[in-house]
Amino acid sequence: MRSLVTGGAGFLGSNLVDRLLQRGDDVIAYDNLSTGRRRFLELASASPRFALIEGDILDATTLAAAMSGVDTVFHFAANADVRHGTEHPRRDLDQNTIGTFTVLDAMRTAGVKRIIFASTGSVYGEATVVPTPEDAPFPVQTSLYAASKLAAEGLIAAYAEGFGIQGLVFRFVSILGERYSHGHVFDFYKSLRADPHALRVLGNGHQRKSYLYVQDCLDAIFVAADAMAPTKKFDVFNLGTDQSCEVNDSIGWMTGELGIRPALNYTGGERGWIGDNPLIYLDSQKIRGLGWTPRLSIRDGVVATLNYLIANPWLLEDRP
Amino acid sequence: MRSLVTGGAGFLGSNLVDRLLQRGDDVIAYDNLSTGRRRFLELASASPRFALIEGDILDATTLAAAMSGVDTVFHFAANADVRHGTEHPRRDLDQNTIGTFTVLDAMRTAGVKRIIFASTGSVYGEATVVPTPEDAPFPVQTSLYAASKLAAEGLIAAYAEGFGIQGLVFRFVSILGERYSHGHVFDFYKSLRADPHALRVLGNGHQRKSYLYVQDCLDAIFVAADAMAPTKKFDVFNLGTDQSCEVNDSIGWMTGELGIRPALNYTGGERGWIGDNPLIYLDSQKIRGLGWTPRLSIRDGVVATLNYLIANPWLLEDRP
């Protein structure tokens, strides 16, 4: 099997690359290295079955050429900066929606027949059913990021129907673990590293979130991909744990692990930023029905992530 | 009130322009005249409160300039060629998704605070609940057209949340009536006019559809828009009748009205084209709860449309 991973130099993408190589695939990481890092591909680069192609997903020509002979595209490239959508209204549209269109159309041109897509639990907006199942009531979008991912899901489903491309979509909670380089554990640790005595917290700290450990996430993707019947056009799975936590819990686990007791300065309000969902808590019965179960609790995931960051200070330093 | 109607020279848009002028608004029709027709604006052009601006919705500069002083944008411009999405995969993305983004961002720039959007009942895909309510289970898209409209809805909701723009979305069944210039009644009449003895019918003729008369549709839009609380960010309404019909019923009403009995040649299969939904039948309880009720039955709408086309042969002749 030959797999191409867009965003293959990113947090999730590079972990996927390693796992695909372990499974015996030939693997191409396709990444523009805008947020991805070559250092995440050091392990992969030792394999003769691996290649990195530096390219942008909006570059249809390079993309289609990279897809020659590919069986499955794992489309993981995205603008993942959920918080700052309103400062750059077009970025999510370009990177996530038009980017996904370009990937799909390159697949059509190159004859690639399967796409596995990293979507987000935030497509449920302010869910009226919690834990939220895949067939929750038709949602109202609350962020440009989620709207762009929903649009990408719709394009994948339409390509599946119209062009015989098999589409498999995963709606994630936030993912934690090795190579995590973006998000609250990163931000909090970076802040605490600079000043262990005080921590600024967006919102009131009671925002509930659900997290999943990266290897558990990848396990689930392989379970669903391997179980999908070749005749099935499209499917979608939530990926999350059966737990949720408050931002405050996460801070407690981190400061406990670090052995510090900073003053917590809350900015106030129920939301961290405009479009922040107070709770993303997904029903994962569908993927569990295939035999998958996560190995790490949210707490274990937070602590593993923190310890990875402690061991890899370059990650906190190399970009401002 | 000053209103701008994108697609204002189209079938639905030009009827809306006339109604807005009747209500006393100042009205700008914004249209690139690619499928819109100046002739549809003959009545409007007699009003000193009307202006046509020839421009494309992808032209952000012209669009933002046109929006100066506008209170409400009715965003009705779209690629409405549902059937041929797979022949031009990028067209729906450009015209419907990126077009809607461009409209929203021009509104943000120009300070326009309200958008009323023409979406489609086809966003429900192959609905699992029929009649289909607004909060139906999270759908799977089956056409590039519907995917592009779903994406547009998501962008509107995200702009409503992020930028304080009020968004009101209508998911239509197919609309019929005066100035109808696209779709099955048009195609069938054009074919029967050329050859009243035989009619080619896509699929098996048993595809169920639901239709709404254009003035009933516009009534509903005004009812919902007038009832919407200024503090409400976003809302969505289905618009349809409580009836559905088969393609065969519609053919029967038309041939009965024309007094002919053509041979019907079916292409076969349950769907007219790839991505065609066998049934789009919307639950319209939500809009009915505001006191709206349609005046014309589907049959009356089909016959009214046919008689309009008979009275306006130029419409069948001016473009191949």
pLDDT in tens, B66-121: 999 999 999 999 987 666 667 889 999 999 999 999 999 999 999 999 999 999 99
Residue with tokens 């109604």: B19
d(CA A110, CA A112): 6
d(CA A127, CA A282): 10
Whether residue B203 is predicted with pLDDT greater than 60 in this model: the reply is: yes
- Which uninterrupted H or E stretch holds A53? strand A50-54
Residue with tokens 């599946």: A160
Q: How far is B247 from chain A (nearest CA, A)?
A: 23
Neighbours of A264 (CB within 10 A): 15
List the end-to-end C-alpha distance of chain A, in Å, as a whole number: 38
- Tell me what pLDDT residue B75 has: 98
Neighbours of B295 (CB within 10 A): 10
d(CA B83, CA B104): 26
d(CA A193, CA A258): 10
| Contacts made by residues A16-19, CB under 8 angstroms, sequence distance 24+ | A16/A74, A16/A76, A16/A218, A16/A221, A17/A41, A17/A44, A17/A50, A18/A43, A18/A44, A19/A215, A19/A218, A19/A222
d(CA A151, CA A92): 10
> Which residue in A has a C-alpha nearest to residue B140's C-alpha?
A157
Same domain, A232 and A253: no
Same domain, B234 and B291: no
Query: What are the backbone angles phi and psi of residue A279, rounded to the nearest 5°?
Result: -150, 125
**Residues in contact with A104: Cβ distance below 8 Å, sequence separation at least 6, in sequence order:** A115, A155, A156, A159, A165, B89
Same domain, A206 and A259: yes
Which residues are bridge partners to A28 per DSSP? A4, A51
Same domain, A140 and A25: yes
- Tell me what pLDDT residue A272 has: 66
Q: How far is A158 from chain B (nearest CA, A)?
A: 5
Q: What is the CATH number of the domain that holds B80?
A: 3.40.50.720
What tens-digit pLDDT sequence spans chain A (320 residues)? 999 999 999 999 999 999 999 999 999 999 999 999 999 999 999 999 999 999 999 999 999 999 999 999 999 999 876 666 678 899 999 999 999 999 999 999 999 999 999 999 999 999 999 899 999 999 999 999 999 999 999 999 999 999 999 999 999 998 999 999 888 899 999 999 999 999 999 989 988 888 999 999 999 999 999 999 999 999 999 999 888 899 999 999 999 999 999 999 999 877 665 556 566 889 999 999 999 999 999 999 999 999 999 999 999 886 64
Report chain B residues whose CB lies below 8 A from the CB of A162. 85-86, 89, 143-144, 274-275
At B31, is the secondary structure helix, strand, or coil? strand
- Tell me what pLDDT residue A183 has: 84
CB contact under 8 A, A139 and B138: yes
Which of B128, B161, B275 is facing A143, going by the closest CB pair? B161
CB contact under 8 A, A101 and B86: no
Q: Which of A34-43, A205-214, B137-146, B228-237 has the lowest mean pLDDT?
A: A205-214
Q: Where are the beta strands (DSSP E) in A138-280?
A: 166-172, 174-176, 198-201, 208-209, 211-213, 234-239, 245-246, 263-266
Residue A193 lies in a domain: yes
Structure tokens at A94: 């370009």
Cα Dmax for chain A:
57
Same domain, B257 and B288: yes
Same domain, B71 and B157: yes
CB contact under 8 A, B158 and A101: no
Active-site residue list of B: 145
At B56, is the secondary structure helix, strand, or coil? coil
Neighbours of B195 (CB within 10 A): 11
Whether residue B318 is predicted with pLDDT greater than 90 in this model: the reply is: no
d(CA B34, CA B52): 14
Domains of chain B: total = 2
Residue A291 lies in a domain: no
d(CA B243, CA B250): 13
Whether residue B207 is predicted with pLDDT greater than 90 in this model: the reply is: no
Residue A285 lies in a domain: no
Q: What is the interface pTM, i.e. ipTM, of the complex?
A: 0.92
Q: What are the distances in angstroms from CA A25 to CA A51, A52, A181, B239?
A: 12, 14, 26, 50
Query: Model-level pTM greater than 0.90?
Result: yes
- Tell me what pLDDT residue A182 has: 81
Q: What is the CATH number of the domain that holds A194?
A: 3.90.25.10
> Which residue in A has a C-alpha nearest to residue B235's C-alpha?
A140
pLDDT category at B144 given cuts 50, 70, 90 is: very high
Mean pLDDT of chain B: 93
- Tell me what pLDDT residue A291 has: 97
Same domain, B44 and B131: yes
Query: What are the backbone angles phi and psi of residue A283, rounded to the nearest 5°?
Result: -80, 120
Same domain, A90 and A191: no
Residue A287 lies in a domain: no
**Residues in contact with B35: Cβ distance below 8 Å, sequence separation at least 6, in sequence order:** B10, B80, B181, B182
Q: What are the distances in angstroms from CA A288 to CA A205, A219, B101?
A: 30, 11, 38
Same domain, A151 and A204: no
Q: SS in 3 state form for B138-202?
A: CCCCCCHHHHHHHHHHHHHHHHHHHHCCEEEEEEECEEECCCCCCCHHHHHHHHHHHCCCEEEEC
Residue A161 lies in a domain: yes
**CA neighbor of A5 nearest in space, from A22, A37, A28, A25:** A28
Residue with tokens 């041109």: A109
Which of A89, A135, A155 is facing B137, going by the closest CB pair? A135
Neighbours of B176 (CB within 10 A): 28
d(CA B96, CA B79): 6
Same domain, B99 and B165: yes
| Interface residues on A facing B, Cβ-Cβ cutoff 8 A | 85-86, 89-90, 93, 97-98, 101, 104-105, 108, 124-125, 128, 134-144, 146-148, 150-151, 153-155, 157-159, 161-163, 234, 236, 274-275
- Tell me what pLDDT residue B83 has: 67
Same domain, A191 and A269: yes
CB contact under 8 A, A85 and B162: yes
- Tell me what pLDDT residue B234 has: 98
Residue A290 lies in a domain: no
Range of the domain at B269: 177-210+242-317
Mean pLDDT, range B3-8, rounded to an integer:
98
Q: What is the Rg, in whole angstroms, of the alpha carbon atoms belonging to chain A?
A: 19
Residue with tokens 């009545």: B43
Which of B142, B154, B163 is facing A158, going by the closest CB pair? B142
Residue A108 lies in a domain: yes
Same domain, A94 and A216: yes
- Tell me what pLDDT residue A274 has: 58
Structure tokens at A217: 């996430």
Q: Where are the beta strands (DSSP E) in chain B?
A: 2-6, 26-31, 50-54, 72-75, 114-120, 166-172, 174-176, 198-201, 208-209, 211-213, 234-239, 245-246, 263-266
Mark whether A266 is an active-site residue. Answer: no
Neighbours of A297 (CB within 10 A): 15
Catalytic residue among A30, A124, A145, A211: A145
d(CA B286, CA B211): 17
**Residues in contact with A305: Cβ distance below 8 Å, sequence separation at least 6, in sequence order:** A176, A177, A178, A180, A185
Whether residue B181 is predicted with pLDDT greater than 90 in this model: the reply is: no
- When scoring B87, B138, B236 by the number of chain A Cβ atoms within 10 A, the one with the most, hence best to mutate, is B138
d(CA A133, CA A143): 20
CB contact under 8 A, B162 and A144: yes
Residue A158 lies in a domain: yes
